[in-house]
Structure 1
Amino acid sequence: MNLAYDVRFWEVRRNASSKTPSYEARWKVGRKPKSKTFRTKALAESFLSELRQAAKKGEGFDLATGLPVSMIPAEPSALSFLQFAQSYVLGRWSTSAARTRETDAYALLTLVPALVADLPGRPDPDDLRSVLRSYTLLPESRRVEPTGRQAAALRWLEKASLPMLALGEATTLRLALDAISTTFAGKPAGANTIRRKRAVLHHLLELAVEQKLFASNPLDGIRWTPPKAVTVVDPRTVVTPVQACRLLDAVPKVGRRRGARLRALFACNYYGALRPEEAADLRESESDPARLRVGPDRVGARPSAGHEALD
């Protein structure tokens, strides 16, 4: 499926050449003009409205049919997980916060390369994730032209990606759950990471149910117990008060002005138990210098996301 995001629309036109009144909805995908005829003007305008809504959501339009991905009546067996994952991300892009976009993409960087057939010539995992991150899972306006290695990886993915209907099978879903339970380095993933990635998979399958690919969410029928989050802190991972003071004294040596700001940020992390995004957005009005503490109920946050996910 060749997708384009350059879409233009024209007003509905009355077809004067036919004996009975008819109306033509007209639009253009890329350089290819498209049209569809309706018996009434209201039907034609309603159809164009659906197309405009799809374009507003950032959906790709198929060059062959002229339709957005969500309106293509493709055979379910012909739809791959890669194609569905791409339409899932792009369909949510315009209404999602940057961190949500990042969470979706991070989960799919694990799931898409895992749900593939065993075809020869499998690319390096880094190449697969790289082309997904910088090209496939981004709107067209944000894409970076893939390198030769990335283009080869994408071609392999397009051939190897499992059919979407395969996710209705328990063996395929267990393969997906095994994948999200492991880091890119092959080590056991943290419980919170697994929980977030499973949530993305579950929501993606909910969309598949909405689009009538499944009668119910197949993930709900899998008996699987995720690992529990570790609640005990290893003392070896926490600095001592003496070490903390030495580290804070060394930070100002980084750059001319940056070091002083970093020292204040890390001091809030250590002494005030603030998260990095809370310390980064801390205001003087939210602190209580007299009691040397910060009011956690008054602290805001400024979470950050990768530049690919930002508007």
Structure 2
Amino acid sequence: MLTLDVKIHALRHRPERPSPYMVRWKVGPQSHSKSYATKTQADGRRAQLLSARQRGELFDVETGLPKSEMDAQTQKPQPTWFEHAKVYAEMKWRVAASAKGRATRADALASVTAALVKDTKGTPPPTILRRALSGYAFNFSEHRPPASADLSAALAWLEAKALPVSELEDDPELLRLALTAMSTRLNGKPTAPSTVTNRRTVFNNALRYAVSRKLLTENPLPSVDWSPPPTDDEIDWRYVPNPRQATALIDAAATVGPRGEHLQAFYGCIYHAVTRPAEAMNLKDADCTLPEIGWGTVLLSGSSSRVGAAWTDDGKSYEERALKKRARSSVREVPIPPVLVRMLRAHIARYGVGPDGRLFRAAEGGIVLSNEYTGVWKEVRKAALTKKQLATPFAGVPYCLRKAGISFWLACGMDPTEAARRAGHSVAVLYKFYAKVLDGRREHANALIDQAMSAAEQEGEGA
């Protein structure tokens, strides 16, 4: 039944409720209400109702909605979160073409979308549902294989069970459910804090995109009282090799077979030039200045990272990228000590370079992939470490050499700004991750000041 008898009341504030702002109105004899997490949302809804009444629009007694909203619901079903997430993922796939970014975004959306369903009756196995979402629903590659029957069934189930995207604005508990899902691994253990941060960023951006598509009036996520898991960004120095240990690990590479011999200089670059492994993989002979005597330089202009053929435009399993958080034309010049100069000269003399000028190549040619240099590293650890060290995460991955190299620079007294430039990150990151090393430098600086002040006092007493 439709009527013009509509009364719209002032907002009611109930601070003890999760959604404390209530919009109240009466259509004929029937009272209606709707609660919102923020006053802005509630004011917006009340303004919509007032505007409809001022236009002389009829209201439905049973639902309390203006006739135009009733008609809109009848004519066009509300899009679900799953449908919106696919639209968002495809939009970002086209405009933000980093393969690594695509994979990260798909993982984030998959972790959230699986939780935003009407009910869990008939839920596919979590691993199947996650694979279906990240590998197919949010992957738009021409190179992905056809979906198997179980993956297709999982996507069909989600199509039927997905919640309307508008419910995220109406019910803050759904947002908490999504945040909990992104913070929990499939085995029930907590997700790494950095992964939670990345996933929340993607979720927030997807909600903002829903606002731009007029599916939501406001992004509801900032209003949700939720704290991410605590993070401890500082490096655990118990597991980072000191200079003597780092040198022993690099030397041990030459003793574990032909691949270890080939990758010895690769590990040397990670330590002495503090390259990221993906940057060392991309190093070419034209990037190196290697004099017979003294220091040399390497020019770092890009990296090669393995992400899987399903995420790249050309179907290759690795991606050529600019330096991390740098423009594609950016180049980082890093001075290298004589020990690394000699190591690289010997490597080039023995192995030459690849057709594209790369110094380091896979066993069968092509780019050295992460599974190869990490596999050799396991043998390096066995050759260089004690049984007690092997039973711990000490020097667990080649990347630890980069941490060891940066900490050595700082301990030697290198200016943090120059250390950050050579390492390819900001001074803020340096202070965030290497605080203990920098604290040690502060103590050394304080000792120098004490020494100078004592000398000045002695001179004053002698005058």
Report the counterpart of residue 155 of structure 2 in structure 1: 154
Measured after TM superposition, the shift of residue 89 of structure 1 is 1.2
Q: 1:178 to 1:247 in 2, by over 3 A?
A: same
Q: 1:140 to 1:299 in 2, by over 3 A?
A: closer
Structure 2: distance between partners of 1:206 and 1:239: 44
Q: 1:134 to 1:194 in 2, by over 3 A?
A: closer
Q: For 1:28-107, list aligned pairs within 5 A.
A: 75=76, 77=78, 79-97=79-97, 98-107=99-108
- The answer on whether the counterparts of 2:141 and 2:310 sit within 8 Å (CA) in structure 1 is no
Measured after TM superposition, the shift of residue 213 of structure 1 is 0.9
- The answer on whether the counterparts of 1:76 and 1:213 sit within 8 Å (CA) in structure 2 is no
- The answer on whether the counterparts of 1:278 and 1:301 sit within 8 Å (CA) in structure 2 is yes
- The answer on whether the counterparts of 1:248 and 1:263 sit within 8 Å (CA) in structure 2 is yes
Q: Please identify the structure whose Cα radius of gyration is greater.
A: 2
- Structure 1 letter corresponding to 2:116: L
- Structure 2 letter corresponding to 1:179: A
Q: 1:307 to 1:141 in 2, by over 3 A?
A: closer
Report the counterpart of residue 5 of structure 1 in structure 2: none
Measured after TM superposition, the shift of residue 127 of structure 1 is 0.6
Measured after TM superposition, the shift of residue 245 of structure 1 is 4.7
DSSP-derived class of the 1:102 partner: helix
Structure 2: distance between partners of 1:264 and 1:138: 37
The number of equivalent residue pairs is 235
Measured after TM superposition, the shift of residue 140 of structure 1 is 6.7
- Structure 2 letter corresponding to 1:266: Y
DSSP-derived class of the 1:164 partner: coil
Select which of 189, 198, 201 maps to 1:199.
201
- Structure 2 letter corresponding to 1:80: T
- Structure 2 letter corresponding to 1:110: S
Aligned-pair identity (%): 35
Report the counterpart of residue 273 of structure 2 in structure 1: 272
Q: 1:278 to 1:188 in 2, by over 3 A?
A: same
Q: 1:260 to 1:278 in 2, by over 3 A?
A: same
Measured after TM superposition, the shift of residue 226 of structure 1 is 2.6
Report the counterpart of residue 217 of structure 1 in structure 2: 219
Structure 2: distance between partners of 1:291 and 1:162: 65
Report the counterpart of residue 64 of structure 1 in structure 2: none
TM score, norm. by length of structure 2: 0.45
Report the counterpart of residue 230 of structure 1 in structure 2: 232
- The answer on whether the counterparts of 2:141 and 2:311 sit within 8 Å (CA) in structure 1 is no
Unaligned runs of 5+ in 2: 1-73, 314-463
Structure 2: distance between partners of 1:293 and 1:220: 50
- The answer on whether the counterparts of 2:112 and 2:182 sit within 8 Å (CA) in structure 1 is yes
Q: 1:208 to 1:148 in 2, by over 3 A?
A: same
Measured after TM superposition, the shift of residue 130 of structure 1 is 1.6
RMSD of the alignment, in Å?
Answer: 3.0
Q: 1:76 to 1:268 in 2, by over 3 A?
A: farther
Measured after TM superposition, the shift of residue 310 of structure 1 is 0.3
Structure 2: distance between partners of 1:303 and 1:112: 31
- The answer on whether the counterparts of 1:82 and 1:158 sit within 8 Å (CA) in structure 2 is yes
Structure 1: distance between partners of 2:287 and 2:230: 34
- The answer on whether the counterparts of 2:141 and 2:312 sit within 8 Å (CA) in structure 1 is no
Structure 1: distance between partners of 2:75 and 2:262: 55
Q: For 1:90-169, list aligned pairs within 5 A.
A: 90-97=90-97, 98-139=99-140, 141-168=142-169, 169=171
- Structure 2 letter corresponding to 1:155: A
Structure 2: distance between partners of 1:215 and 1:167: 11
Structure 1: distance between partners of 2:237 and 2:135: 39
